[in-house]
Amino acid sequence: MNETNHDHERLRVAVDIGGTFTDGVATMEPAGHIWVAKSPTTPADPGQAVSTVLEDLLRQVDETLGACSEKLQEVVHGTTLITNTLIERKGVKTALVTTKGMKDMLDIGREWRYDIYDLNIELPQPLIDGDSRVEVDARLDARGEELDPLSDEALDGVVRELSAIDADSIAVSLLHSYNNTEHERRVAEKLQAAMPDKAVSLSSDLAREIKEFERTSTVAANAYVKPIVARYLHELDGRIGSVKEGTPLRVMVSSGGFCSAKTGAESPILLLESGPAAGVLSALNTAQQVGVDQVLAFDMGGTTAKACVAVDGEAPVTHSFECARVERFKRGSGLPILIPSIELIEIGAGGGSIALCNRMGLLNVGPESSGSVPGPACYGRGGTDMTVTDADLLLGFLSSKNFLGGDMHLDVDAAQAAAERLAGQLGVTAIDATWGICNIVNENMASAARIHIAENGHDPRDFTMIATGGAGPVHAVDVARKLRIPRVIIPIAAGAGSCLGMLAAPPRIDRSWSSPKRLTDVDWLEVAGNLEVMRKDALTELQAAGATEIEWSVGAEMRYEGQGAEISVGMPLEALSSKPGVTIEDAFEAQYKKLYGRLVPDAAVQVITWRLVGRAPNTGQKFEWGDNRIRTTPAGSRSIYLPLRKAYAEVPVHDRYSVPAGTTLQGPLILEERESTIVVAVEADVTILADLTVSVTIKEFD
């Protein structure tokens, strides 16, 4: 490999900060050779772990290829910083500028309870308190026409009130600004001139959509984290520049693409689900390589487990979801956010999730996590609570001496002590408590995924599960068995799967514009003009993110007049060039009939929101190891817990890359690699594919 001509190659790096570990992957393109690094996340200074991982990756590349780290062309980054800041309420002091009479919008919300039987219900608290909200005496109507003009005196009054509040960041959300952005623009210009040191966020920049409460909640969340994320990305850009000057930093966005660091700093709320979205893209990239078109992407890390149902190579994208929920699995208990995001469901706990005895004397797992500090009891960093990782260790699924390739030893005695304490509280044996943790986690994940698949009109038995994340391959086969999914695929470097997804992701930008009208009343020249403005704006950002060839598509949220919910339709942008009204109505009726089985006779069709998506073509990416992972390590064995036999048994343990391509092994068995461990605790055919992807065909379900 050292003798290869590398003159036309380029090096790209992806780094993902998780709750427990920070992962990194470097790839030398076009060959797709990869190197992987992993380091515990440093919550006090997340950039420290990023620097550690980046330096480790470049060292590995240089050791393998010579002085090739100079070919570093870009770093793509995903982070949980935004999510964690919102959950922990550790953002900056934020103020809100809104229309007169709308000051209490964040408190009123939708006026509904997510649990009508809970007498002590806890509602999510707004990020901006009432004393930090300023009203402006100006108003637009629902058509975007000016009812009350925005005067200079009103703007001066806003500045005076904000100066007294002395917030670090300001959110601006004015009534009906989705239809006319002029008032918000004037407020922003005034604030930037009078208070240049304050960060300003406009709702019309982030979510130019109907639904005043959700739009205001979105801009409030963006403003709440904006100075923190801007400072973080600036510092990270400096760290990367110290490694190689001029290397651009890209950031992963929730919709499944990436943008420039400048865009990420301006609109950090777009990064909210960046890591999990990248995990889905990694699964879809693997599915493309192995020829699978119905996928359950399953990603389990140190803090959470998430899943996505994807059909025909495309992940579904939602434009409204929640974050920072009071009750983790209850819809309506979080802050509504209007941004495009790959449709994910949080289906369970992660490796660091804490198991405890609840008030009823029953076993609960999560949602609290030990994180990376102090971590599970077996990490030996001061943690004493029993976690999923501790249970996996005691069940034999993890090796105490070969965790992270032997770089980290796990303390079996500490895990056993934690298990015995928990078992004593529950009044059961230590092994019952230990397997109970693993079984509850797997059953919860299977149940949530089963419902999600059914809601999308599919049968789990028709799917293939693709598992990523550090803990994903440990639990995937048992979760698939419970779902009766017959096949599980684990790609190479699955423990850093989100990073592979970032490297396979194309640049992507989403834009939207709400203008509720009957389809018969739509001004198609106005629509074409607005789409062109959005296209030019998106084009600038796509080119800044490195895109050259761009595919454009247009979507619309539509409904029959009088209905309260919309359905999404989509088509290539050029499809609207001729007879757009007929084209989009046909698309709506086809989608409506597919969902509901029939149309509504003589009902008027409405368009509520227009959407524009620009992205580079997604051609897929093949990956193979850049270092010498192929070994001839002889197989060993160890005792693991077999759930269907309810007993421990000795099973073969293979170094994953000691098993040559084309080999089929028989489960139960263990396949170990540095970043993760594949646990097959039932009868199965385990086949190593040509690119060293592992395919598990389950033969024992009961």
CB 434 within 8 A of CB 426: no
pLDDT at 1: 43
By CB atoms closer than 10 A (0-12, 13-18, 19+), residue 608 is middle
Tokens of 561: 């007049």
Assign residue 695 a region (left: φ > 0; alpha: ψ between -120 and 50; beta: otherwise). Answer: beta
Distance CA(637)–CA(643), nearest Å, equals: 18
Tokens of 551: 């595919």
**Segments in the chain below pLDDT 70:** 1-7, 19, 328-329, 348-349, 367, 371-372, 405-407
DSSP code at position 658: G
pLDDT at 2: 45
Strand runs labelled E in 573-693: 605-615, 624-625, 636-642, 647-655, 664-672, 677-688
- Side-chain-side CA neighbours of 136 within 13 Å: the count stands at 32
pLDDT at 328: 66
pLDDT at 240: 86
pLDDT at 7: 58
pLDDT at 3: 45
pLDDT at 371: 67
By CB atoms closer than 10 A (0-12, 13-18, 19+), residue 193 is exposed
Q: How many CB atoms lie within 10 A of CB 139?
A: 18
Fold match flag (92-228 vs 508-615): no
By CB atoms closer than 10 A (0-12, 13-18, 19+), residue 48 is middle
CB 656 within 8 A of CB 405: no
Distance CA(257)–CA(591), nearest Å, equals: 26
CA 68 to chain centre: 31
Q: Is 355 helix (H, G, I), strand (E, B) or coil?
A: strand
Question: Does the domain formed by 92-228 have CATH 3.40.1360?
Answer: yes
Distance CA(128)–CA(170), nearest Å, equals: 10
Which architecture characterizes domain 508-615 according to CATH? 2-Layer Sandwich (3.30)
Domain ranges of the chain: 10-86+231-271, 92-228, 508-615, 629-698
pLDDT at 405: 67
Tokens of 659: 């098993």
CATH placement of domain 10-86+231-271? 3.30.420.40
CB 478 within 8 A of CB 488: no
Helical (H) or strand (E) element with 487:
strand 487-490
Q: Is 441 helix (H, G, I), strand (E, B) or coil?
A: helix
Distance CA(539)–CA(499), nearest Å, equals: 25
The side-by-side arrangement of strands in the sheet containing 33-40 is: 258-260, 249-252, 72-79, 10-17, 21-29, 33-40, 624-625
DSSP string, 221-247: HHHHHHHHHHHHHHHHHHHHHHHSTT-
Distance separating the N- and C-terminal Cα atoms of the chain: 47
CB 343 within 8 A of CB 453: no
CA-wise closest residue to 698 among 639, 657, 644: 644
